[in-house]
Homo-oligomer: A and B are copies of this chain.
Amino acid sequence: MYRVDLNCDLGESFGHYSIGMDSKVIQIVSSVNIACGAHAGDPLVMERTVKAARLSGVAVGAHPGYPDLQGFGRRNMGLSPKEAAAYVTYQVGALQAFCRQQGITMQHVKPHGALYNTAAKNQDLAYAIAEAVNAIDPTLILMGLAGSESIKAAKAVGLRTAEEVFADRAYEEDGSLRARTKPDAMIEDEEEAVRRVVRMIKEGRVTAVTGKDIPIKADSICVHGDGEKALLFVKKIREALTAENIRIAPLGN
């Protein structure tokens, strides 16, 4: 039987600022990536988000990002791989403490935003992150863009990996995401988006923006909980997966 993980970023509120429909989306995914206080989140938000994850029975991942709250971790920063790895270590550790307090084990680490995108292409950064995560706990799973340098580096250092795919994004022939600044970057038609995801899981293939079919591994699908429309799309994906006999479950064993 086929299976796949549904993951969503969570715990992105900060102090007085609240964003995301965390309490709703947590009910319909299998894994969550929790912000760790650098690009979003704070200790109180992390504490209650980890607790909510435990109560909802979803698997927890750390979602470390660049130390840039004003830019929400989406602006590139000229950190050396060594610096970036130390920031990742810091954030993963901080979230692990809340996991231990809740009696749960962290499942995975998924870098956020600009860090995710840069690590997907930059081998040195990808290795530095993978080695840092491996040195913290070799049972952690590294989640990254399917087929990217992040995944290759994680495998090379001996970590388990979760290759992540996007339902609503177009792919280039080399497996990278088509930049949002280019035309046809988004899959606007929800039915098509769902069909593409099902095919990625069952056939391991997706049609690139050029029309050519490329191989892709889909361990986890990235979904969003930042609005009613996003939630409805997650439900549509869930229904399609169920109808196709694809089991939705965390990455675990």
Contacts and interface: CB of A to CB of B under 8 A. Distances in A.
A207 B151 CA distance: 49
Contact of A77 (B78, B90, B132): B78
A71 B101 contact: no
Interface string A57-76: 00000000001111110111
Interface string A70-91: 1110111111001100110111
A156 interface: no
Interface stretch (A15-23, A166-174, A178-186, A228-236): A15-23
A100 B136 CA distance: 5
B68 A77 contact: yes
Interface string A92-110: 1111111011000000000
Interface of A: 14-17, 19, 37, 40, 42-44, 46-47, 67-72, 74-79, 82-83, 86-87, 89-98, 100-101, 114, 132, 135-137
